[in-house]
Amino acid sequence: MKNLPKREWILALVAGLLLAGCSPRGAQGAPQRGIAEVGVVTVQTERVVLATELPGRTAAYRVADIRPQVSGLIVKRAFEEGSLVKEGDLLYQVDPTQYQASYDHAKAAVALSEASLPAARSREERYKELVASRAIGEQEYDDALAALRQAEAQLEYSKAALEIAAVNLSYTPIKSPISGRIGRSSVTEGAIVTAYQPVPLATVQQLDPIYVDVPQSTSEMLKLQRRMEGGKFSSDNKSQNKVAIIREDGTPYPQQGTLEFRDVTVNPTTGSVILRVVVPNPDSALLPGMFVRAVIEEGIIEDGILVIQSCVGRNQKGEPFALVVDESGKAAMRMLAIDRAIGNKWLVSSGLAAGDRVITEGLQRVRPGVPVAIAPVNSGSKDKDQAVNPNQPKQKTK
C-alpha cells in the first residue's frame, strides 16, 4: 500500500474498517432476544344478568288540586300545611248561609207543588166522567187535564231545583278527595273564592306508593326486542319486573319498585318512551320531582363471556381487540364486538370463545405473531392494567 497514492490509500483504509464493522461478532456479540413471558386468563362462559341503569323522575301516585265548586267566603281552614289528610277530611268551609236559604226555598217549592197536585188530579178525574156523559164540554176537560199536567211538571221542576240546592249546599264544606300529604294553602279565612277557579286552594298528593318515570330510547328498546327474538338471552318475568332505585346522592333506596307499564307513544323530541315504575314509599323519603336512577333488568345470558377492560385495546379505527395465545404458542389478535360494560369488565358479543387464552400481563412486550411463554399471573404487575395498540406507539397517560 506504500506504492499507492495518498488519496487511494485513505479510501482503502476506510473500506477495510467498514468491512470489519459488518463482520459477525461471534460469541463476543450481543445475545439473541428472548421470548416474552405473558400472563393469560382462560375464557369461561358464565351466567350474566343484563341490567340497564336509566335516569328518572319521581311523580306523585295521585294528585288532587283542591278547587271550590261554589262561590263564597272562606270562613274556616281545617288543616295544617304539610300535614297528612285522609279522604273525606274537611279542608275549607265556604259560608253556607245563602246556599242553605236556597235549599230551604227549593224545599218549600216542592211542598207547594205536592199540595196542589191532588186537587188537579181529582178535577181531571171528575171532568173525565162528565165529558163522557156529555154533561160538560170537551174544552173544559182539556183545561182540567192541562192543569194536571202542569201541576205534575211543576212538582218535578221543584224537585230538580231542590236537588241542585242540596248539591250546592254540600259543596260548601270542601273535603279532600284522596288521602295524602297536603301542601301550602293559597288562601286564608276571609278570602273570596269562585267556583272552579283556575288557581287551586291547595294540592293533595298521595306519596305512598310513588311513581318513577324513566325514559328509554327507542333504539335500546328495539335492540332489546331483537335480542329476545334472536334467543340471545332469556327472561324471568318476575325478576324482570323488579326495579332497583338509586337516589340522587348515589345511595340505594331500600324499597324495590315494580315495572308497571311501558308507554305506547314515542316522544318526538327525545325519541324515547316512558317506563313507569311503582315504588313503595312508606316514610315519604322520595318526594315528587326528585332525580333518581332506576336499574331495570333486561334479561339473562346463560353463556356470556366477560373480559377485564384492561385486556381490551383499540386500533386506529377505534375498533376493540384482544391479544390471545393461539395453539402454536404465538400472540394473535382477535377483533371483538362489545355489548356493554359490566363493572370492570366488557361483555363480549363475538370474537372470543370458551377456552381462549387472553393475555392479561406483558401486553406491551408482545405483538401479533410473536412467540410468547405463559407465566403465572402476577396480581401486582402493572402490565395487567395496560392494553396497547400494536399499530401505534405507546402513549403516555396524564
Convert the pLDDT of each residue in 12-32 to its tens digit: 554 444 434 434 444 343 334
pLDDT recorded at residue 238: 56
231 beta partners: none
Cell of residue 316, nine digits: 386506529
- ∠ Cα 106 112 118 (to 5°): 140
The whole-angstrom separation of Cα 151 and Cα 337 is 88
Measure the CA–CA gap between 12 and 4, rounded to whole angstroms: 10
**By C-alpha distance, which of 149, 31, 98, 39 is closest to 373?**
39
56: CB partners within 8 A, 6+ apart = 212, 213, 214, 215, 275, 277, 291, 292, 293, 294
Over the chain, what is the mean pLDDT? 83
Is residue 55 a contact partner of residue 291, using CB atoms and an 8 Å limit?
yes
The neighbour count for residue 222, using CB atoms within 10 Å, is: 10
Q: How far apart are CA 143 and CA 336, in angstroms?
A: 100
Q: Determine how many CB atoms are found less than 10 A away from the CB of residue 328.
A: 8
Instruction: Mean pLDDT check: name the lowest of 12-26, 69-83, 112-126.
Output: 12-26
pLDDT of residue 364: 84
The answer to whether 178 and 27 are in contact (CB under 8 A) is: no
Strand pairing partners for 77? 92
Residues 6+ positions from 377 with CB-CB distance below 8 Å = 39, 40, 41, 360, 361, 384
Please provide the DSSP assignment of 256-285 as one string: PEEEEEE-SS-BTTTTEEEEEEEE--TT--
pLDDT at 127: 86
pLDDT band at residue 294 under the 50/70/90 scheme: very high
- The DSSP element (H or E) to which 203 belongs, if any, is strand 202-217
- pTM of the predicted model as reported, rounded to 2 decimal places: 0.64
Q: Given pLDDT bands bounded at 50, 70 and 90, which one contains residue 33?
A: low
What is the structure's pLDDT at 234?
A: 57
C-alpha cell of residue 183: 301542601
> 347, 383 in Cβ contact below 8 A?
no
Q: What type of residue is 29? A: G
Write the DSSP symbol of residue 196. T
Rounded to the nearest 5°, which phi and psi values hold at 279? -125, 130
Q: What is the model's pLDDT at position 296?
A: 83
Q: What pLDDT, on a 0 to 100 scale, did the predictor assign at position 166?
A: 96
Report the distance separating Cα 198 and Cα 189, nearest Å.
19
- Banded model confidence at residue 235, pLDDT cuts 50, 70, 90: low
Express each pLDDT in 44-70 by its tens digit.
998 888 888 889 999 999 999 999 999
Full set of structural domains in the chain with CATH: 37-48+303-385 (2.40.420.20), 50-61+207-300 (2.40.30.170), 68-95+172-199 (2.40.50.100), 96-171 (1.10.287)
